Amino acid sequence: MSEKASGIGAKVSDAAIGEIDEIGIGMLGYAFMGKAHSNAFRKIAYMTWPPPLKPRLVAIAGRDEAAVAGAAQRYGYERWTTDWRDIVSDPSIGLFDNGGPNSLHAEPTIAAAEAGKHVLCEKPLGRDADESYDIWQRVAATGVKHLCAFNYRFVPAVRLAREMIDAGDLGEIRHFRGRYLQDWGDDPSLDTWRFDATAAGSGALGDLGAHVIDLARFLVGEISTVSALVQTFLPGRSVDDAVEAAVAFENGAVGTIEATRFALGRRNAFQWEINGSKGSLAFDMENLNELHVFRADGDRARGFKKVLVSEADHPFWEFWWPPGHIIGWGETFVHEIHHLLGAIKNGTDVAPYGATFEDGYRAAEVCDAIVRSGANGQRETVTYR
Per residue in 3-43, pLDDT (tens digit) is 545 687 767 665 566 789 999 999 999 999 999 999 999 99
From residue 67, how far is each of 1, 75, 108 by CA, in Å? 35, 12, 20
59 pLDDT more than 50: yes
Residue 81 pLDDT grade (very low, low, confident, very high; cuts 50, 70, 90) = very high
Give the pLDDT confidence of 146-160 residue by residue, as tens digits.
999 999 999 999 999
Cβ atoms of 235 and 279 closer than 8 Å: no
- Position 16 scores a pLDDT of 60
Instruction: Note whether 233 and 240 are within 8 A (CB).
Output: no
114-151 confidence digits (pLDDT tens)? 999 999 999 999 999 999 999 999 999 999 999 999 99
d(CA 344, CA 354): 13
3-state DSSP assignment of residue 281: strand
Beta-bridged to residue 149, according to DSSP, are: 122
CATH of domain 8-150: 3.40.50.720
SS3 assignment, position 209: helix
pLDDT band of residue 2 (cuts 50, 70, 90) is: very low
> Which of 66, 67, 94, 70 has the alpha carbon at shortest distance from 6?
94
Q: What are phi and psi of 267, to 5 degrees?
A: -80, -45
Closest alpha carbon to 255 in 273, 241, 270, 271: 273
Look up the CATH architecture of domain 153-380. 2-Layer Sandwich (3.30)
d(Cα 319, Cα 321) in Å, to the nearest integer?
7
Closest CA relative to residue 29, chosen from 108, 92, 94: 108
Contact indicator for 160, 309 with CB cutoff of 8 Å: yes
Distances (CA, A) of 16 to 11, 12, 13, 53, 337: 14, 12, 9, 16, 24
Q: Which amino acid is at 245?
A: A
pLDDT at 302: 80
The predicted structure's pLDDT at residue 301: 73
Q: Are strands 223-231 and 242-249 parallel, antiparallel or unpaired?
A: antiparallel
Residues carrying CATH 3.30.360.10, the chain = 153-380
Q: How many CA atoms lie within 13 A of 332 on its CB side?
A: 19
Least confident among 4-13, 22-31, 50-59, 84-93: 4-13
Contact 220, 249 (CB under 8 A): yes
DSSP-derived secondary structure letter, 207: I
* pTM of the predicted structure, to 2 decimals: 0.95
Q: Which helix (H) or strand (E) holds 340?
A: helix 331-346
Contacts with 50 (C-beta within 8 Å, 6 or more apart), sequence order: 14, 17, 20
Residue 307 C-alpha from the chain's centroid: 24
CA distance 57 to 62: 15
Segment 258-280, tens digit of pLDDT: 999 999 999 999 999 999 999 99
Q: How much of the chain, in percent, has pLDDT values that exceed 90? A: 92
Angle value at C-alpha 223, between 217 and 225, nearest 5 degrees? 160
What pLDDT, on a 0 to 100 scale, did the predictor assign at position 198? Answer: 95
Cα angle 293, 299, 303; round to 5: 45
Residue 254 binned pLDDT confidence (cut-offs 50, 70, 90)? very high
Q: In angstroms, rounded to a whole number, what is the distance separating the alpha carbons of residues 91 and 7?
A: 6
SS3 282: strand
Nearest to 363 by CA among 84, 193, 150, 77: 150
pLDDT at position 191 is 86
Cβ burial, residue 188 (10 Å; 0-12/13-18/19+)? exposed
Q: Which of 227, 223, 274 is nearest to 250 (CA)?
A: 223
Which part of the chain is CATH 3.40.50.720?
8-150
Q: Tell me which of 360 and 299 has the higher pLDDT.
A: 360
As a whole number of angstroms, the distance between CA 30 and CA 14 comes to 31
Chain segment 358-378, per-residue pLDDT in tens: 999 999 999 999 999 999 999
Would you say residue 224 has pLDDT above 80? yes
Q: What is the reported pLDDT for 142?
A: 98
